[in-house]
Amino acid sequence: MDRRTLLKSSGLFMGALGLSTLASRAAIAAPAQAATQGSAVFIPSAKTPLLLNFNENSLGMSPKAQAAIINELPAAFRYPDDARAALISTLAKGNGLSDKQITLGNGSSEVIQMAIHAYCGKGTQLVCPDPTFNYAELYAEPMGTTITKVKLQKDTLAIDLKAMRAATEKFAGVSVVYLCNPNNPTATITPAADIEAWINSAPERVFFIVDEAYHEYVTDPRYASAARLVQAGKKNLIVARTFSKIYALAGLRIGYGLAAPEIIARLDTWASIDNTNLPAAIAANASLQDTAFIRQSLSTTAQSRKIVTQALDELKLAYLPSHANFIFHRVNSSSAAYRENMKKLHIMVGRPFDHTDGWNRLTLGTPAEMQAFVKALKTLRQQNLA
């Protein structure tokens, strides 16, 4: 189940937990940000639940990004063309590309949508891991695209590239391959050597969408961004990135894509006009330059991951190696029952994913938030509910 469907079906507990106003939502953010100040304690409640279900960055946006938005507000009556161009220029320089190799989207989800609209339709096939972030599938299905899901490897839950490649070889028409690296919901990586070998040898009828939403978190040497294939001139892929995760701009909706100039030109014909608002462009540009905030985000996530893995080890609950700001771990109950029991403690964890009952995807919030989660987890375990 994707985030959009979950929101529609459950109302995101807005009524049940009294989150129907912007003021109450601001109250949620304040304890999370205060929890980054050392020994602060986070106590989940109906008014301020602990939100560990959508892989957001609980630190909140960069101070430089906040200041940049405030400074630019007097110019909000102007269209965002200049701010948009400035962000594209910054992204191009940072990725060793030209401005013509960058596109912006209303989140990386729009970049994915643009690629699906440009390459999918009747007579084409979308090949994707199962489970994975499913927006490519959601965009492709109404277009009459054949959806081919390839289950993760049974023992490791790694993406099965061999089986995905076989699916494209069996299909006579155009295949669009969606790869999320690190994958969501597992937080596991697919080695760059394996991805690059396939992309470099693929026929023209195979196009790749490489979703690197969690790119900035990865330190494993087996991983490398597919952006280097764009730098090398490959014309059969788009790399999608977002400012929603490490940069904490999920609510502003800003993402970008990296590809060959002709690919960008093709995708841009499917972009919504003026798809980048002024605060988002300004905040994204400022965030890219706030290296101190990026280091803080990485450090905080590492601390939170350690808190959680130590507790999981203590409780003998298995988990996959995490290369993102979330962790995929076992629970000793059905996933749905576990989520419901956590919800009673005012903690929102995970959401449904196919073929993964008995597993839970947990967002890594601040260290104080994760201490609160561990306390709740141990409470449920004592009651044989987790």
Considering the domain architecture, whether residues 90 and 40 belong to the same structural domain is answered as no
Task: Decide: 362 and 324 in contact? Cβ < 8 Å.
Answer: no
Q: Give Cα 281 to chain centroid, integer Å.
A: 19
The number of domains in the chain is 2
15 and 140 assigned to the same domain: no
pLDDT value, residue 41: 84
Same domain for 56 and 77, yes or no, is no
Strands (DSSP E) along the chain, which ranges? 50-52, 102-105, 125-130, 146-151, 175-180, 206-211, 237-242, 255-258, 326-330, 347-349, 359-363
Residues 161 and 284 in one domain: yes
CATH of the domain at 277: 3.40.640.10
* C-alpha–C-alpha distance, residues 14 and 22, integer Å: 11
| pLDDT tens-digit profile, the chain (386 residues) | 665 555 445 444 444 444 433 333 444 454 445 444 445 789 999 999 999 999 999 999 999 999 999 999 999 999 999 999 999 999 999 999 999 999 999 999 999 999 999 999 999 999 999 999 999 999 999 999 999 999 999 999 999 999 999 999 999 999 999 999 999 999 999 999 999 999 999 999 999 999 999 999 999 999 999 999 999 999 999 999 999 999 999 999 999 999 999 999 999 999 999 999 999 999 999 999 999 999 999 999 999 999 999 999 999 999 999 999 999 999 999 999 999 999 999 999 999 999 999 999 999 999 999 999 999 999 999 999 98
Q: From CA 277, how far away is CA 113, in angstroms rounded? A: 18
Give the domain-ending residue among 264, 288, 312: 288
Q: Which residue intervals of 213-334 are DSSP H helices? A: 227-231, 261-268, 278-288, 291-314
**Whether residue 247 sits in one domain with residue 200:** yes
Rounded distance between C-alpha atoms, residue 317 and residue 386, angstroms: 9
Same domain, 134 and 42: no
Specify the amino acid at residue 99: D
Domain that holds residue 209: 64-288
Domain identity same for 54 and 195:
no
C-alpha–C-alpha distance, residues 234 and 195, integer Å? 13
Tokens of 330: 């076992």
Going by C-alpha positions, the residue among 227, 248, 247, 252 that lies closest to residue 238 is 227
Tokens of 365: 């919030």
pTM for the full predicted model: 0.92
**Angle formed by the axes of helices 161-170 and 192-201, to 10°?**
10
Question: How many CB atoms sit inside 10 A of residue 382's CB?
Answer: 9
Residue 11 confidence (pLDDT): 47
Q: Sheet of 146-151: strands edge to edge?
A: 102-105, 255-258, 237-242, 206-211, 175-180, 125-130, 146-151
β-strands 175-180, 146-151 pairing: unpaired
**Structure token digits, residue 15:** 């009524």
Q: Name 309's Cβ contacts closer than 8 Å, sequence gap at least 6.
A: 319, 322, 327
Do 51 and 172 have their domain in common? no
**Burial letters for 234-245: b for 16+ Cβ neighbours within 10 Å, e otherwise?**
bebbbbbbbbbb
Same domain, 101 and 209: yes
Is the same domain home to 334 and 251?
no
Per-residue confidence (pLDDT) for residue 2, from 0 to 100: 64
- 257 and 301 part of one domain: no
Quote the tokens at residue 115: 């690629």
Query: Are residues 228 and 296 both part of a single domain?
Result: no
Give me the helices (H) in 19-80, please: 22-34, 63-72
Look at residues 261, 288, 315 and tell me which one is the last residue of a structural domain.
Answer: 288
Boundary-marking domain end, from 268, 288, 308: 288
CATH number at residue 39: 3.90.1150.10
